[in-house]
Amino acid sequence: MVHAFLIHTLRAAKAEEGLCRVLYSCFFGAENSPNDSQPHSAERDRLLRKEQILAVARQVESMYQLQQQACGRHAVDLQPQSSDDPVALHEAPCGAFRLAPGDPFQEPRTVVWLGVLSIGFALVLDTHENLLLVESTLRLLARLLLDHLRLLVPGGANLLLRADCIEGILTRFLPHGQLLFLNDQFVQGLEKEFSAAWSH
Amino acid sequence: MRHAARPGSRRRCGHCFASRPCLERAARPQGGGGGGMLATGTESLLRQAREVGAEELGRFCARVSALLQAEDWGPDALDALRRLFLIVAATKYSRRLEPTCVALLQTTLCSPRCPERLQLLCAAVLREMAPSDSLSLSCDHAQSSRQLGLVASVLLAQGDPQQVRTVGQCVIKVLESRQPEGPSLTYLLPVVSKVTSLAPDALPEEQTKALSKRLGEWLRYASVQQGAAHASGGFFSTPRARQPGPVTEVDGTVATDFFTVLSTGQRFTEDQRLNVQAFSMLRAWLLQGGPARPGAADADDRSELEGSTVSVLSAASAASHLLPPAEWLREKALEYCQRLLEQSGRRALRKADSDLQKACLVEAVLVLDVLCRQDPSFLYRALPCVRALRTRLCGDTACVRALLPIAQFFLHHGEAAAVDADAVCQHLFTRIPSEHFHSPMLAFEFVQFCRDHLVLFGSNLDLLRTSFPNLFKFLAWSSPALTSGFVALLPVLVDAGTAVEMLHLLLDLPSLTAALDLQLRASQAASERPLWDVSVRAPGCLEALRDPQAQGLFQHLLRAKASGTVERLTPLHQLLQPLASCARVLQCAQAVPTLLRAFFAAVTQFASGALASQLALLLLERSDSLFQVEGYEADVHRVLSSQFPALCKLHPPLVVERAKELLEFVGSLGGPRSTGHMLTSVVWAVGEYLSVSWDRRCSAEQISRFFEALEALLFEVTQSRPSAALPKCPPQVITVLMTTLTKLASRSQDLIPRVSLLLSKMRTLAQSPAVGPVHGEDDLGAVRTRATELLNLLKMPSVAQFVLTPSVEVSQPRYHRDCNTALPLALDMVSRLLEREAGLLPGTRPPQHLPLEAVPGRSRALCSSPE
């Protein structure tokens, strides 16, 4: 089961300007803080969820930066050569790390992330998921989002104002956080269905 | 543009969020490539969304409400809802939306005619506000199963356990309705899956059983014909109607057996979609509803499936329908997994399908494992499949990650599969890390596998322990992601037999990283995306490796198993030096202190005196033979110097036993050292433990040998001329030397005149700030004060001995609490004496800066540990 999905910015290592920004996040079902009967607990719970997501995003960013540094890839490499270049998604760096219980979620969690140029995609999961399925699902989601939002094409749409498209993709390919075993033709079918619904 | 900036509205953000051109400008970057493009537009857009004030938001909500009220579901509504989502989502603080707006969002969500994208946005906005008190949504409002799915997503996001149960009840009720042309269930099955993961007891037993039966049917009896273009169950409708053919395998041949997630076709039917979802949720469902679940009285439920949508095929296996639902589902799950194992051996035509085959292999083995744990009678059918799979996969590097669940399977069924468990563990621990250390995902899974199955390893635990050099390759290569995992794993990995070798390897970890890097450079042809840092060139390294001695050390460093021997790697360190600036090596070096602390925390739990003594020597020996990585030596010294006293405390006689080596260490330090950490802790340990009260073998002769060596050392560090090239001697080293010398003198009293003379000299030296190796008035003051204190103490030799060499019982609380015992009295008297004497001296101040003085009660600090 996936607990949360997030899209956020990735900065090059040692980048001075800017902060790590969460561009989209979604919890699939949520657990509220226990033993909390304070009047403002709803607001506090929401704040807590947002902080949790940001904590994951920051950790992903630093893992990404460390991995990129280790491979000797630096900021200059982050620019695509030209807008026609298909992004080599199967070569996009990815990784996994564990979140200890209480930091920031009550239960222990696994985070699997994928870095595509300056965008990070991450799934927050139970600790015993099938990580091969997780990885291919994450790559699939990233591919669909990049294609349909034309994120990497200059002049393309900004994903901040295309939540319907992200939601439409998630509803089909990760419904309620359920990881699906989808073969290639199944994916194509769902994608056609999605395109049809979004074309008019 | 209908909603262009209102006249009179001068607020920038309000202007932007009410007008499309501005936003479009912000969203659309001015030229530039993909990398930088996100930054500019995104930042300003987020800022605008955050800056929208309450008043502006109120106006905006009114606009959204007007559109939704009028059922104006065109581009304006789409645009407005997208912005509303951004305004709510962009800030971590709660947004207050107009109640009418919230109500209309809920109405629109459940409207029968509203387009999907708008409903998705309504659901997304409501979810982003969660948890929210103003929600009146209920599952009953949904008009279709698709809408019910959306409503459920909003309700489940509220985080209310009661709500989760209500949603579960409602959804399962719809699932139970069995009209063939009924609502599409594919929207609802994931909701059930989510509900059971959030609240495992949400569904009553009866309904769980009923769903188990249906899951079994969907798994085993989905249609083997492709979906027709316009068939009622078809999903992906195209105008062309065509005769649907049979589903095919991933290699393109016609399916030979029932439909699974690895069966493909042009279109898929509803029941095929349910098949995919059923398998996707199967493992979690089995785990939730297993025999461990209380009250699952399964056996007295041997009824046939009444009225369920059993396909024609199921008649053939009518016998199995007499099984209770949970058993029936397990039966179908076993058949499904067996079929998947067969299908995953086919040669996939598409790359994506070949990836899916691997994921299916993993899942099938995991499901088989669950089945056999829940019902051991499955073992005789599952075991041969998994055995065959292991044989098939052991030579297949592409499927290496599937070996972990296979190993888990064998470990879980130890009695029946002990031999297989040994074989697969042998393969895993000896070969996989050395061949696949550079795969971050495998590394993560491997470490997690080791952590999760420690209690199951049994006889293989020794194999795991002796394989630590191999496991450390993962750590050396991916230290940032794995350090916490290894901190948890180290206490199990380390035992008395491997501790010494493991400590050596931990200290050599950065050089292991460099060696692995070099190994990759040597073995891989320069591919387009090499795994190493190409900006660091190491042509000489590869050349130098040809030398047989270097080759031998290289192989030793890269060994797969503990060898029981220790090699001096200094020549190899020199050879690998060009790689020391690699970011990966630096990252590893930064992880080592944490790992060392975890190692010592574990080792000190069980170390015998002999082991403690061996490790203490190792610390001394390795403190000056480390791989030269920036900042590494200082970091490691900090840890080692805090561990040395801990080891001495564990086995105090080691100071007497290892007197020769300690003397050598102290004597070998010609000139001031870069860091005084190691020296400080060794000198402190000598003062603390070189005493007959710790070891009867301690002789006066030994004490005076140490005294002479330390006296010479003190002389050396204080007399050396200050120079820019040499770092200054830390004042801690000087004070700890003075204290230790005084302690030794108090135990062998004929040394007292010598040490008194020396202390007076030190005091004089510290009063002339222009000379001497120590600079800074604070440092000088500390040295001066310490010298004065010690001199005063030595005026009363019997008190000095009592204070500087307290008996072992002093550590017991009674000696500090009970005023009638001698110690508090003595300490009190001594500290008053010292303070009075110190107060008489001109220019002395109470010391503030030395860790030695940190404990309240100054004289007690003299016998406290240096940390």
pLDDT digits (tens, 9 = 90+) for B196-230: 999 888 888 888 888 999 999 999 998 888 887 65
pLDDT digits (tens, 9 = 90+) for B311-361: 434 444 445 557 888 889 999 999 999 999 999 999 999 999 999 999 999
Chain B contacts of A95, Cβ < 8 Å? 440-441, 444, 478, 481
Tell me the residue type at B177: S
Greater model confidence, B295 or B762? B762
**Which residue's entry shows tokens 């004070």?**
B735
Chain B contacts of A189, Cβ < 8 Å? 235-236, 266-268
Residue A145 Cα, gap to closest chain B Cα (Å): 15
Neighbouring C-alpha atoms within 13 Å toward the C-beta of B199:
22
Residue in B38, B93, B264 closest to A185 by CB: B264
pLDDT digits (tens, 9 = 90+) for A101-153: 988 998 999 999 999 888 999 999 999 999 999 999 999 999 999 888 877 66
Please tell me the predicted confidence (pLDDT) of residue B233. 43
Please tell me the predicted confidence (pLDDT) of residue B713. 87
The answer to whether B362 contacts A133, with C-beta atoms less than 8 Å apart, is yes
CA–CA separation, B301 and B681 (whole Å): 72
Residue of B81, B86, B100 whose CA lies nearest to B52: B86
Residue in B190, B359, B401 closest to A181 by CB: B359
* Phi, psi angles (nearest 5°) of residue B422: -60, -45
pLDDT grade for B12, boundaries at 50, 70 and 90? very low
* Phi, psi angles (nearest 5°) of residue B110: -105, 10
Chain A contacts of B118, Cβ < 8 Å? 164
Mutation for testing the A interface, residue in B43, B84, B119, B197 having most A CBs under 10 Å: B197
CB proximity list for B673: less than 8 A, separation 6 or greater: B679, B727, B729
CA–CA separation, B17 and B283 (whole Å): 47
| B783 in Cβ contact with B734 (< 8 Å) | yes
CA–CA separation, B336 and B330 (whole Å): 10
Residue of B538, B504, B502, B546 whose CA lies nearest to B520: B538
Chain A contacts of B536, Cβ < 8 Å? 72
Please tell me the predicted confidence (pLDDT) of residue B420. 83
Residue in A67, A78, A161 closest to B83 by CB: A161
* Count of beta carbons in the 10 Å neighbourhood of residue B347: 11
Neighbouring C-alpha atoms within 13 Å toward the C-beta of B753:
1
* Burial class for B136, CB neighbours closer than 10 Å (0-12, 13-18, 19+): exposed
CB proximity list for A102: less than 8 A, separation 6 or greater: none
Residue in A9, A95, A176 closest to B191 by CB: A176
Per 3-state DSSP, what percentage of chain A is helix, strand, and coil (rounded to 5)?
A: 45, 20, 40
Encoding tokens for residue A141? 């989601």
Mutation for testing the B interface, residue in A144, A172, A184, A190 having most B CBs under 10 Å: A184
The answer to whether B265 contacts A185, with C-beta atoms less than 8 Å apart, is yes
CB proximity list for B202: less than 8 A, separation 6 or greater: B164, B165, B168, B169, B195, B196
pLDDT digits (tens, 9 = 90+) for B681-723: 999 999 989 988 888 888 889 999 999 999 988 888 777 655 5
pLDDT digits (tens, 9 = 90+) for B814-864: 776 776 666 667 777 777 776 665 554 444 444 343 333 333 333 343 444
CA–CA separation, B343 and B354 (whole Å): 11
| B328 in Cβ contact with B212 (< 8 Å) | yes
The answer to whether B401 contacts A177, with C-beta atoms less than 8 Å apart, is no
Predicted-complex ipTM score: 0.94
pLDDT digits (tens, 9 = 90+) for B653-683: 999 999 999 988 888 764 445 567 888 899 9
Cα separation values, B448 from B43, B66, B272, B479, Å: 38, 54, 34, 14
The answer to whether B86 contacts A27, with C-beta atoms less than 8 Å apart, is no
Please tell me the predicted confidence (pLDDT) of residue B183. 65
Predicted TM-score (pTM) of this structure: 0.86
Residue ranges of the domains in chain A? Answer: 2-31+40-74+89-198
**Gyration radius of chain A over CA positions:** 17
Task: State the distance between the two ends of chain A, measured CA to CA, in whole angstroms.
Answer: 32
CA–CA separation, A121 and B577 (whole Å): 37
Please tell me the predicted confidence (pLDDT) of residue A34. 61
Chain B contacts of A123, Cβ < 8 Å? none
Chain B contacts of A117, Cβ < 8 Å? 34-35
Please tell me the predicted confidence (pLDDT) of residue B333. 96
The answer to whether A136 contacts B536, with C-beta atoms less than 8 Å apart, is no
Mean pLDDT of A184-189: 94
Cα separation values, B50 from A157, B41, B91, B662, Å: 20, 14, 6, 65
Mean pLDDT of B295-316: 41
Instruction: Indicate whether B766 pLDDT > 90.
Output: no
Mean pLDDT of B438-465: 89
In whole numbers, what is the pLDDT of chain B averaged over residues? 81
Chain A contacts of B478, Cβ < 8 Å? 95
Please tell me the predicted confidence (pLDDT) of residue B734. 87
How many residues are recorded in chain B? 867
**Gyration radius of chain B over CA positions:** 37
**Which residue's entry shows tokens 């040692």?**
A14
Cα separation values, B603 from A5, B495, B650, B785, Å: 41, 7, 11, 38
| A110 in Cβ contact with A129 (< 8 Å) | yes
pLDDT digits (tens, 9 = 90+) for A163-177: 999 999 999 999 999
The answer to whether B440 contacts A126, with C-beta atoms less than 8 Å apart, is no
* Burial class for B289, CB neighbours closer than 10 Å (0-12, 13-18, 19+): buried
Residue of B629, B651, B649, B683 whose CA lies nearest to B507: B629
Q: What is the DSSP-derived secondary structure letter of residue A99?
A: E
User: Mean pLDDT highest for which of B130-144, B366-380, B713-727?
Assistant: B366-380
Percent of chain B with pLDDT strictly greater than 90: 43
Encoding tokens for residue B147? 């809408």
CA–CA separation, B702 and B695 (whole Å): 12
Residues facing B710 on adjacent strands: none
Greater model confidence, B772 or A4? A4
Mean pLDDT of B719-747: 77
Under CATH, what is the fold of the domain A2-31+40-74+89-198?
Beta-Lactamase (3.30.450)
